[in-house]
A = this chain, B = another copy of it.
Amino acid sequence: MSDSSKPRYQQLKDLIITQISSGELGPHDRVPSENELVERMSVSRMTANRALRELTDEGYVERVAGRGTFVSDFRSRSHMLEVHNIADEITQRRHRHTCDVLRNSRQHARGEIAKALDVEQGTDVFHLLLVHFENGVPIQVEDRHVLAEFAPGCAGQDFRSITPSAYLTSIAPLQEAEQVVRAQLPNAAVRRHLQMPEDEPCLVVMRRTWAHGRPVTFARLHHPGSRYELTGHYTPPGTSTSASGGVVQLEKLQR
């Protein structure tokens, strides 16, 4: 971790990031001050300052002149930013998440699915169908296909306690995802699962996720239009917080 080929300020950053992500330092905990880092890590104050300042820009910590540096709780939000795990979003709202598993079967990919996963027709995949509830109200139908080769353990997995997305990220880190958002009327089955009135549209998110350099799962997520919305925040390139071009962050998903 503390690669001596890296610059000193980066080593300091890595050290603190490690402590934060390991939970050793939790939100609102105090981070060593610049002067403490000077003494304990044998660096100059400017180097400690740069490390802490960049951690601030990147949202890891917040600094208050006169008081100190504290672990930001934005990181957890940032994890929640993960559009991937609806269970986390719900529990973070202090609501109750439950889930029905309607299907968990091994199949041969064909048509649209094979194309989305970029594999031959007939390749082994798992087909998952789940309904997610927030405080007992159905909020998402998750219709997901996963490459069997990538996640052979799917068959024996109880997806009521660990959502598919959590399970998949535990196998390999997410590399990249591509998603499409649409407004669509649901078919009868989805409408029944979401307990929606006849003429209510769905907000549909289709997401394709990469790991090991190739697409490994394709999910179609239906949400009831009257109970769900996507909210985002746009920051132009130049502004204070670090930026990677004009960007819309999907922050929370609720209603």
What residues of chain A have their CB less than 8 Å away from a CB belonging to chain B? 17, 57-60, 74-75, 77-79, 81-83, 173-185, 199-204, 223, 225, 229-239, 241-250
Contacts and interface: CB of A to CB of B under 8 A. Distances in A.
Number of copies: 2
A183 B225 contact: yes
A244 to B, nearest CB: 5
B183 A236 contact: no
Contact of A249 (B81, B203, B248): B248
Contact of A77 (B223, B238, B245, B248): B245
Contacts of A183: 182-184, 201-204, 223, 225
A236 B179 contact: no
Given A60-B238, A245-B74, A229 B180 contact: yes
Contacts of A185: 199-201, 225
A242 B239 contact: no
A200 B78 CA distance: 35
Contacts of A246: 78-79, 81-83, 249
Contacts of A249: 244-248
A216 to B, nearest CB: 14
A237 B78 contact: yes
A55 to B, nearest CB: 9
A166 to B, nearest CB: 15
Given A79-B246, A176-B233, A248-B248, 15 more contacts: A57-B242, A59-B243, A175-B239, A176-B236, A177-B234, A178-B231, A179-B232, A182-B225, A182-B229, A183-B202, A243-B244, A244-B244, A244-B247, A245-B249, A247-B248
Contact of A236 (B175, B178, B184, B199): B175
